[in-house]
Amino acid sequence: MTAFHGIRPGSVLAAAAITLLASGTGQAADWRGWNIHPPGYPNTIALEQFAKDVTDKTQGRVKPTVYNNGVLGSQPDAIEQTRNGALDFANFNMGPMGPIVPATNVLSLPFIFSGEAQMHKVMDGPIGQRFSDAMAKEGLVALSWYDSGSRSLYNTKRPVTEPKDVNGMKVRVMNNDLYVDMIAALGGNATPMAFGEVYQSLKTGVIDGAENNYPSFESTNHYEVARFYSVTNHLIIPECVCIAKASWDKLTAGDQEIVRKAAVDSAVVQRKHWAERSMASLEKVKAAGVQVNEVKDISAFQAAMKPVYAKFIKANPDLESLITDIQATK
């Protein structure tokens, strides 16, 4: 007990020691958080608010630090690290979550949502809770959902206006076999690859294209190399604020409530910044000379996805009701 030597009852230090002991762990928790995006990106702004809020409201019992730009590893690695408690929190796109939590693959089915508003309605309600429950079984406590807009195809070759334009194209996708099927259904060849490798791969011709929302297309400078962005809106994938279950379980009920509220509040901030950044990014890439084209007959792309759905449902019959429940949400 040398650490307490000389502390008088009632002193500031004694009070601090009592507060720490009351936290259940006996010491402040320095949380490390994974973020793939750069400073100033909507998700980064929101995660930083989350970290500050948690630090302030727990009076330093929990002190989250956000590590930006994916410096703590690729998304699939970071999901593993959060599951085993090596990382304490993260903002994950639900795409690479599928290989770990199969139910979340439903969110990666092309055109599963009719729009971003419907996606939020689904995720903020009881269906979203079903995804959180499935993730909790794998060591991830999902507390709120961020916006990630709609993902569209972009490439270095030509505008895509119909599925046959994708024929023979090498397209980078996130780590999930569903996306390999999705690109194959359009006649292209998909290459799963870490986000951080895409710019160089586009530049050197290792791939011809990729797919993402406007803010990521812009923030990564992919638009400098891939000059054709075709508005297919084929994926609307939410993102979570996730806490490692190992870190969550160490918190008192009171601190869990503080962390939960901070995550929900950060999602409100993220969605507001997201809407603004999406428009700003579109303007920026257009001003930089990127050819952005609408796709007139999106139903041709949707029809091409029928075999992807059929294969998925055959392999996952238990998830069919989740698909129909999402589609029935208006």
Minimum CB separation of residue 184 from ligand GTR in Å reads 18
Residue with smaller CB distance to ligand GTR, 48 or 239? 239
Minimum CB separation of residue 270 from ligand GTR in Å reads 11
Q: Say whether residue 266 binds ligand GTR (CB under 6 A).
A: no
Q: Say whether residue 148 binds ligand GTR (CB under 6 A).
A: yes
Q: Say whether residue 81 binds ligand GTR (CB under 6 A).
A: no
Minimum CB separation of residue 105 from ligand GTR in Å reads 15
Which tokens in the block code for residue 36?
A: 């793939």
Which tokens in the block code for residue 307?
A: 């075999």
Q: Say whether residue 213 binds ligand GTR (CB under 6 A).
A: yes
Torsions phi, psi for 226 (to 5 deg): -95, 105
Candidates 47-55, 81-89, 209-217, 300-308: pick the segment binding ligand GTR (CB under 6 A). 209-217
In sequence order, the β-bridge partners of residue 231 are 294
Minimum CB separation of residue 272 from ligand GTR in Å reads 16
Minimum CB separation of residue 235 from ligand GTR in Å reads 10
Closest CA to 108 of 99, 122, 98: 98
Binding mask 152-191 for ligand GTR (x = CB under 6 A): ----------------------x-----------------
How many CB atoms within 10 Å of residue 27? 9
Q: Which residues contact 116 (CB under 8 A, 6 or more apart)?
A: 147, 149, 150, 236
Minimum CB separation of residue 239 from ligand GTR in Å reads 6
Candidates 160-168, 210-218, 258-266, 278-286: pick the segment binding ligand GTR (CB under 6 A). 210-218
Residue from 23, 212, 219, 233 binding ligand GTR (CB under 6 A): 212
Q: Is 263 exposed, middle or buried (0-12, 13-18, 19+ CB in 10 A)?
A: buried
Residue from 23, 44, 58, 93 binding ligand GTR (CB under 6 A): 93
Tell me which residues in 11-40 interact with ligand GTR (CB under 6 A). Answer: 36
Interface residues with ligand GTR (CB under 6 A)?
36, 75, 93, 95, 148, 174, 195, 212-213, 216, 239
